[in-house]
Structure 1
Amino acid sequence: MMRTLFLQAPSFDGYDGGAGARYQMKREVKSFWYPTWLAQPAALVEGSKLIDAPAHDLSWDDIKHEADDRDLVILHTSTPSFGQDVRTAELLKARNPRLMIGMIGAKVAVESQKALEASAAIDFVARNEFDFTIKDVADGMPLAEVQGISWRDADGAIVHNRDRAVIEDMDSLPFVSPIYKRDLTIEKYFGGYLKHPYVSFYTGRGCKSRCTFCLWPQTVGGHNYRTRSIGHVIEEVKYVLAEMPQVKEIFFDDDTLTDNGPRVEELARALGALGFGRPGFGVSWSCNAKANVPHATLKVLRENGLRLLLVGYESGNQKILHNIKKGLRVDVARQFTKDCHALGIVIHGTFILGLPGETLETIEETIEYAKEINPHTIQVSLAAPYPGTFLFKQAVENDWFDGTDHLLTDGGNQIAQLSYPHLPAKVIFDKVEEFYKRFYFRPRKIGAIVGEMVRDFDMMKRRLREGVEFFDFLRRRKEAA
């Protein structure tokens, strides 16, 4: 067994680039997702260690010594962070030339040749689903025999091995929560809409939806939703409750947990049997959801401890939802949101500006729609054409952008990549700030936030901190414009 380090490398200050992050960038308020896709293979490799440098505010000087007694380093990378991650790989190799260095992540899964050509410090990259791929490498299997990798042989030639089959038995994967407990400080992980501290993990992989912009199903996870057994999930929940008593919320990070109604109801009832939803039980749960869950299912989830749903509305314009193959009707999403409000389910709504078909009129329509349905909190992102997605291919073919991988400013803030003849990138960029201001700076919303703060002193401290961070976010956007 090779002595293995799993590394989310140092990057921009405050940069959320972990493999659990939907968008790799700085957030409006301090936010870090767990590096679940690194923790999973780490759980398979005996004696490994996981370092998530950005979340723990670690610099190169803080972590460089970790390479001295290792045989293998696995770096998670992404399109925005790739240049910095290559630099880290080169520093690691210079410090310890004996190291084997591999990269994982959507970026190298779809651009394996290009990634290896970027630097001789990278010995191999793992394509697609990589958990057991990395275990094979760590077990000492010759690279020529490892399925699912592209690698550089002794002569420097790049070789692409045959693909690895996706995992069908999801219960064959060990829990990630013990890796969190062993190697991470969970208080370092924040979500603006989640209770703190929280823990997140997956109950399954893949998403049947075909959203053109969504990175993970089109690159690593696939469109076949493969799930763990309910019993397996509940055992990990029990581990969290017993071993991480400070946790106040468990977030199930499946792309859309609610797509399988009977299964999510079964999971909810199993959570209810543990005490979720009972008065005095101090832990809640939350998950991603599509805005089409029927009232009957929502009621079961709420009665068994569901607190919050993270919902991707994306746009309030039906034609744009059709353009991005969202598979969602605006009127259905509107009724879903009313049902959640009536049941007391909190919603964090996400929206994207600059998708195909966007105009000034559709942006206005989406802002008014967000105000009407009134999620508790929102995130507004710019359309990001990641390599490997249909949106990337569509944008290049239509000259909406130049195909570069520069998605962030030098400081780690997202930029508007897509530009249309009738709607230039700068206008789209500026509309994000307007969206936030018009949503949050309303008497109704301000009153709700102040009321929340008055009722809960911890929430008051948190919201005040987030307020400072939010205004700093607006300041940075002005500087980047």
Structure 2
Amino acid sequence: MPIKTTFIYPGIAGLGFNSLKRGMEAGWISHGLASLSGAAKAQGFDVDLIDLRALTDWDHFRHVLVERDPDVIGVTMMSVDYNPARRAIALAQEIKPDIITVIGGPHVTIALEDALRIPAVDYLVTGEGEITFPKLLQAIQQGHRPEQRVLRGEPPDLDTIPFTDRSLFLDEWRRWGYDLDSPEVPFVAELPPPFVTIIAGRGCIYNCAFCKPGEDYLFGKRTRRRSVENVIAELHQLVSQYHIASFMFHDDCLTEDREWVMEFTDRYIAEGFTMPFFCQSRADIIVKHEDMVSRMAKAGLRGYFIGFESGNDRVLKFIRKGTTVEQNRQAARICRRYGISIWANYMMGLPTETREEVMDTVRLMKEID
């Protein structure tokens, strides 16, 4: 008899239970789980989801898990989700002692020794799981469970894995009253519904102290990016299936690869797409490649997420950002020139940062706003 797998998304650390539709934190999918779902379904496995954000409390979770009665649970874990993830695992073990528990995600990969101490966990998958997780399900189904608990994820060729399975989240959300005509919740007026997030690549070539080496543990030291053709094919599918009107690239820094961006914008326009989109970039890239910014704006770019981080050069150097305050100012001016909105990221209270350095950042925020 085929085994049944239930993924659990424990992302309630911020807004808690019963928080669907409340912006990015409770209205966007987990691409990690949705990608694993696509990979598992492609191998013929029965997969569903329990999203804690859609439930009312832990008693509700208990009731739903009893009703679903999975053979395997797969729990993704950011560090911020450690406590709800651990409690979900404990309740699953209490409800069904012979359930097989698999955990993965950033916390498991980056803090493996800590994750190994979580009780009632059978397997821990580090890194990327699109190849490794279906193999594990196959072994379980055939009665040949691996002896080792830690399974090192095999990085996949991103053009060969199935597209993100957004139905994993959307079907579950609708079960609990999600009534928006949009696969994910829009967050700005420039991106009308139906709206989705999309990931074109994994990893980042930069070396910011607040992100590295953690991201290298997840994806390796280089960026692996899907082909333009593959991304265009997914956009066609999203238009056909969900009639999307806008989207956001969720890559860490889409614009780090100028050649890819120029090819994408050419192809995007040639295919007749007119949907507005956002992506993440850096101040130095925007300053050095204004012609690329212009091309992206022509194609439909309406906003950049930019990590300005600080208004003080010493702090920028301390966090290994690789940019300067003047580049932050120039990038903002370039964005205004092309009508591109800025969602700026800043950090305050960094180690060694003085009050005056914090005020430098406040002054930059006022200048750019």
* TM-score when normalising by structure 2: 0.84
Corresponding residue for residue 5 of structure 2: 4
**Alignment partners' CA distance in 2, 1:367 and 1:274:** 43
Moved more, 185-194 or 67-76: 185-194
Which residue in the other structure is 1:166 paired with? 155
What's the secondary structure of 1:311's corresponding residue?
strand
Residue identity in the other structure for 1:105: G
Q: Give 1:110 deviation, angstroms.
A: 2.4
Summarize the alignment of residues 430-469 of structure 1 with structure 2, pairs less than 5 Å apart: none
Q: Is the 8 A contact 1:103 1:124 kept in 2?
A: yes
Determine the structure 2 residue equivalent to 1:387. none
Task: Assess if the C-alpha contact under 8 Å between 1:181 and 1:244 holds in 2.
Answer: no
Q: 1:58 to 1:275 in 2, by over 3 A?
A: farther
Is 2:63 aligned against 1:75? no
Name the aligned partner's letter for residue 146 of structure 2. A
Structure 1 pair 51–287 and aligned structure 2 pair: CA distance change class (3 A): farther
CA distance in 1, matches of 2:357, 2:4: 53
Instruction: Give the aligned residue type for 2:89.
Output: A
CA distance in 1, matches of 2:200, 2:158: 8
Which deviations, in whole Å up to 9, do the C-alpha atoms of 1:423-448 show, x marking residues without a partner? xxxxxxxxxxxxxxxxxxxxxxxxxx
Instruction: Decide whether the 8 Å contact of 1:316 with 1:365 is kept in 2.
Output: yes
Asked if the contact 1:307–1:345 (Cα under 8 Å) also holds between the matched residues in 2, the reply is yes
- Within 1, Cα distance between the matches of 2:123 and 2:218? 17
**3-state SS of the aligned residue for 1:300?**
helix
Contact 1:319 1:357 in 2 (8 A): no
Q: Which residue of 1 aligns with 2:15?
A: 14
The answer to whether the 8 A contact 1:320-1:356 is kept is: no
State the Cα deviation string for residues 40-81 of structure 1 (Å, max 9, x = none). 111111221133321x35533434333543111111112222
* Alignment match, 1:199: 196
Aligned to 1:371: 366
How many angstroms apart in 1 are the aligned matches of 2:216 and 2:153? 16
- Written as runs of structure 1 = structure 2, the 5 A alignment for 1:261-276 is 261-276=258-273
- Contact persistence 1:128–1:221 (CA under 8 A): yes
Greater Cα offset, 134-143 or 124-133: 134-143
8 A Cα contact 1:323 1:356, kept in partner:
no
Q: 2: CA distance between counterparts of 1:262 and 1:84?
A: 42
In structure 2, the CA distance between the partners of 1:13 and 1:297, relative to structure 1 (3 Å rule), is closer
Contact 1:313-1:350 at 8 Å conserved across structures: yes
C-alpha displacement of 1:31: 5.3
- Residue of structure 1 equivalent to 2:47: 48
Q: 1:349 aligns with which of 332, 336, 344?
A: 344
Q: How does 1:148-297 map to 2 (within 5 A)?
A: 151=149, 160=150, 163-167=152-156, 169-179=157-167, 180-185=169-174, 187=182, 189-190=184-185, 192-193=187-188, 195-197=191-193, 198-214=195-211, 217-245=215-243, 247-277=244-274, 283-291=275-283, 292-293=285-286, 294-297=289-292
- How far off is 1:32 after superposition? 3.8
* Aligned residue runs from structure 1 range 141-152, under 5 A: 142-144=144-146, 151=149
Task: Calculate the aligned-residue CA RMSD, in Å.
Answer: 2.5
Amino acid at match of 1:269: D
The whole-number CA distance in structure 1 between the counterparts of 2:49 and 2:26 is 19
The amino acid that maps onto 1:110 is I
Are residues 314 and 134 of structure 1, via their aligned partners in 2, closer, same or farther at CA, if it must alter by over 3 Å? same
1:230 is matched by which residue type in structure 2? Answer: V
What is the distance in 2 between the residues matched to 1:335 and 1:12? 37
Distance 2:137 2:56 in 1: 25
SS of the aligned residue for 2:280 comes to strand
Return the offset for 1:226: 0.3
Q: Deviations over 1:188-213 (max 9, x none)?
A: 84354463542112111010011111
What is the TM-score normalised by the length of structure 1? Answer: 0.66
Instruction: Report the Cα offset of residue 181 of structure 1.
Output: 4.8
- How much has 1:91 moved relative to structure 2? 0.5
The separation in 1 between residues aligned to 2:368 and 2:352, in whole angstroms, is: 22
Looking at structure 2, the residues matched to 368 and 43 of structure 1 have their Cα atoms a distance apart, in angstroms, of 46
Count of aligned pairs between the two proteins: 342
Deviations 1:116-175 (A, max 9, x none): 2231x2112111222222111112254537xxxx62xxxxxxxx45x44433x2111211
Structure 1 residues not aligned, in runs of 5+? 17-26, 152-159, 278-282, 375-481
The Cα of 1:362 is off from its aligned counterpart by 0.8
Give SS of 2:70's match: coil
Distance of 1:275 and 1:15 partners within structure 2:
41
Q: Does 1:129 align with 2:118?
A: no
Distance 2:35 2:111 in 1: 22
